[in-house]
């Protein structure tokens, strides 16, 4: 068992060293973004929205295509009532992952709060069609 772990560790190191520097850097950035995202979600769940927002903005800086960061930013802005910013972030999350049920559901809720019932109904009807 110990030999297998050693072989696995050496194999991973060899694979990483074979990657071009740009790919290694991208993997490093994405792993750091993922670690910060985990901390941000913990802040969100503790209702520490400002810390979560600060961390999520860092995630977006490190990995602009991180749909989960946009989603949680939307939630962090929504619950204290910053619904225009919540709509912007949730729209971005949906743009990045258009088939994610939760992203679209929360965006519909924010559209509703913002008085955009036509957009909210459109999303809800689409979700019903997809998940019936």
Q: What is the pLDDT of residues 77-119, one digit of tens each?
A: 999 999 999 999 999 999 999 999 999 999 999 999 999 999 9
Around Cβ 5, how many Cβ atoms within 10 Å? Answer: 9
Integer Cα distance of 110 and 74 in angstroms = 9
What's the confidence (pLDDT) of residue 25?
46
DSSP 79: T
- Residue 112 phi/psi, 5-degree rounding, is -60, -45
Q: What is the pLDDT of residues 8-51, one digit of tens each?
A: 455 544 455 555 545 444 444 556 889 999 999 999 999 999 99
Lookup: tokens for 69: 């960061």
- Tell me the mean pLDDT in the region 51-57: 97
Integer Cα distance of 85 and 25 in angstroms = 31
* Residue for token pair 């924010």: 110
What's the confidence (pLDDT) of residue 24?
42
- Calculate the CA dihedral of residues 124, 127, 131, 132 and round it to 10 degrees: 50
The long-range contacts involving 39-43, CB below 8 angstroms and separated by at least 24 positions, are: 40/69, 40/72, 41/72
What's the confidence (pLDDT) of residue 12?
47
């Amino acid at each position: 068992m110990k030999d297998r772990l050693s072989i696995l560790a050496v194999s991973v190191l060899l694979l990483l060293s074979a990657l071009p520097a740009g790919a290694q850097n991208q993997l490093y950035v994405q792993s750091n973004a993922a670690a910060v995202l985990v901390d941000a979600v913990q802040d969100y769940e503790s209702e520490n929205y400002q810390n979560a927002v600060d961390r999520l903005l860092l995630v977006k800086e490190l990995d602009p295509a991180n749909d989960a960061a946009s989603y949680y930013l939307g939630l962090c802005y929504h619950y204290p009532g910053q619904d225009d910013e919540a709509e912007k972030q949730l729209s971005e999350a949906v743009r990045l992952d258009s088939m994610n049920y939760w992203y679209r559901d929360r965006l519909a809720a924010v559209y509703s709060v913002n008085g955009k019932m036509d957009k909210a109904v459109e999303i809800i009807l689409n979700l019903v069609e997809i998940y019936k």
